[in-house]
Amino acid sequence: MRVLVTGGAGYIGSHAALRLLEDGHSVSVVDSLERGHARTIEILKDVAGDRLEFLRADLADTDALTDLLTRNEHDLAMHFAALTYVGESVERPLDYFRTNTAGGISLLTAMKCAGVRRLIFSSTCATYGEPSPEFVPIGEETPQNPINPYGRSKLQFEEVLRAEVANPKDPTPLAVVALRYFNVAGCDAGGRIGEDHRPESHLIPICLEVALGKREHLTIFGEDYPTADGTCIRDYVHVEDLISAHLAAVDALEPGRFKRWNVGIGRGYSVREVLESCRRVTGHAIPAVRGMRRPGDPPRLYADPSAIARDLGWSANWTDLDAIVATAWRWMQANPRGYG
């Protein structure tokens, strides 16, 4: 098949593009390179030769997207391109709604013009906001009450998709799967591509940057949460498992249906447990200091992945946190300056 991968030069999108290419598919990557890395495109080209097409464009450029989609017949789109920092979204809400909501609408418009009617959308557990304890672990029926512009911008695009799949006048109804990710971690087990966010705000890469000598310490954002060790609990799913969930979702696409699944391993790790794991994997002391709570951080977020297991036969292969961290550490050691 030929797949449009938006955000294919970014962390998760590049892992999706790599897997699709390795599986023999053709891939069109569209990425503005605002946050993505040109180097990943070179690496993907080495894998794929002429099965990869790259378009540097913003999601807002509907004409460019339409042109790309009509030049070759595309079977579906996987939509990863987004702004994804909770804290930044509070300070730049317009950018978040413009990229994540309006950008999605632009993509949908281009897909409609080009007759591409299948979409897998990167949604997020941030659409659930701060679920009350009876909803943790978090299933798909948990009320969606996002508490920051990031989560709201993603939920709004889910709403757009729901409306569009239900369009009674559409002769070729849209088919959508929204995958609501929990925390994504680790890198390509082959060590070719990795995680390079600028600025980096994620827990595991920050711990590893301390081990690498790029930072002096980790600041733990709050040790007074109502959890066993006082730090926040998250569900860390390996990026390769996440991509496998996308491939499983392709077969579930059905015209006129909006389907959604949570993607997590179903077990939470506290910030302190992640820190200990990074210490074990790197053999480095990784000093940590106590910091203030980060606004918008719910104490416990982990998935109930039983629906995706039941419906798609998907479950995480990477369930050992040390093994997940080791893939990230391997890439970071080989690429201490990231993509340069």
Q: Which residues are catalytic?
A: 150
The window from 31-39, 141-149, 173-181, 202-210 that contacts ligand UDP (CB under 6 A) reads 202-210
Q: Indicate whether 221 belongs to the interface with ligand UDP (CB under 6 A).
A: yes
The C-alpha angle 138, 141, 147, rounded to 5 degrees, equals: 65
User: Mapping DSSP to helix (H, G, I), strand (E, B) and coil, where does residue 166 land?
Assistant: coil
CB 129 within 8 A of CB 297: no
Q: Indicate whether 201 belongs to the interface with ligand UDP (CB under 6 A).
A: yes
Q: Which of 48, 232, 328, 332 binds ligand UDP (CB under 6 A)?
A: 232
Per the listing, tokens 């080209």 go with 45
Q: Indicate whether 203 belongs to the interface with ligand UDP (CB under 6 A).
A: yes
Q: Indicate whether 220 belongs to the interface with ligand UDP (CB under 6 A).
A: yes
Sequence-ordered list of residues with C-beta below 8 angstroms from that of 69, at least 6 positions apart, any chain:
4, 28, 110, 111, 113, 114, 116
Q: Which of 148, 297, 324, 338 binds ligand UDP (CB under 6 A)?
A: 297
Q: Indicate whether 206 belongs to the interface with ligand UDP (CB under 6 A).
A: yes
Q: Indicate whether 12 belongs to the interface with ligand UDP (CB under 6 A).
A: no
Q: Indicate whether 294 belongs to the interface with ligand UDP (CB under 6 A).
A: yes
The length of the chain is 340
User: Mapping DSSP to helix (H, G, I), strand (E, B) and coil, where does residue 116 land?
Assistant: coil
User: What span, in angstroms and rounded, lies between the C-alpha atoms of 324 and 332?
Assistant: 13
Which residue, among 77, 266, 275, has the nearest Cα to 182 in the 3D structure?
A: 266
Distance in Å, CB of 309 to ligand UDP, minimum:
23
CA distances to 202, 203, 204, 225, 260 from 273, in Å = 15, 11, 11, 14, 30
User: What span, in angstroms and rounded, lies between the C-alpha atoms of 106 and 190?
Assistant: 34
Tokens of 307: 């629906």
Q: Which of 41, 86, 174, 239 binds ligand UDP (CB under 6 A)?
A: 86
| Total residues at interface with ligand UDP (CB under 6 A) | 15
Q: Indicate whether 271 belongs to the interface with ligand UDP (CB under 6 A).
A: yes
Beta strands in the chain (DSSP E): 2-6, 26-31, 52-56, 76-79, 118-124, 175-181, 183-185, 218-221, 233-234, 236-238, 258-263, 269-270, 288-291, 300-301
Distance in Å, CB of 86 to ligand UDP, minimum:
6
Q: Indicate whether 183 belongs to the interface with ligand UDP (CB under 6 A).
A: yes
User: Mapping DSSP to helix (H, G, I), strand (E, B) and coil, where does residue 96 land?
Assistant: helix
**Closest to ligand UDP by CB, 175 or 208:** 208
**Closest to ligand UDP by CB, 68 or 206:** 206
**Closest to ligand UDP by CB, 188 or 297:** 297
The window from 41-49, 145-153, 164-172, 212-220 that contacts ligand UDP (CB under 6 A) reads 212-220
User: What span, in angstroms and rounded, lies between the C-alpha atoms of 286 and 278?
Assistant: 8
Distance in Å, CB of 319 to ligand UDP, minimum:
18
Distance in Å, CB of 181 to ligand UDP, minimum:
9
Distance in Å, CB of 19 to ligand UDP, minimum:
22
Q: Indicate whether 219 belongs to the interface with ligand UDP (CB under 6 A).
A: yes
Q: For 230-266, b where at least 16 C-beta lie within 10 A, e where not — what string? A: bbbbbbbbbbbbbbbbbbbbbeebeeeebbbbbbbbb
**Closest to ligand UDP by CB, 56 or 279:** 279
Distance in Å, CB of 236 to ligand UDP, minimum:
9
**Closest to ligand UDP by CB, 253 or 286:** 286
Distance in Å, CB of 231 to ligand UDP, minimum:
7
Q: Which of residues 136-175 bind ligand UDP (CB under 6 A)?
A: none
Q: Using DSSP bridges, classify how beta strands 233-234 and 269-270 pair: parallel, antiparallel or unpaired.
A: antiparallel
* Residues in touch with ligand UDP (CB under 6 A): 86, 183, 201-203, 206, 218-221, 232, 234, 271, 294, 297
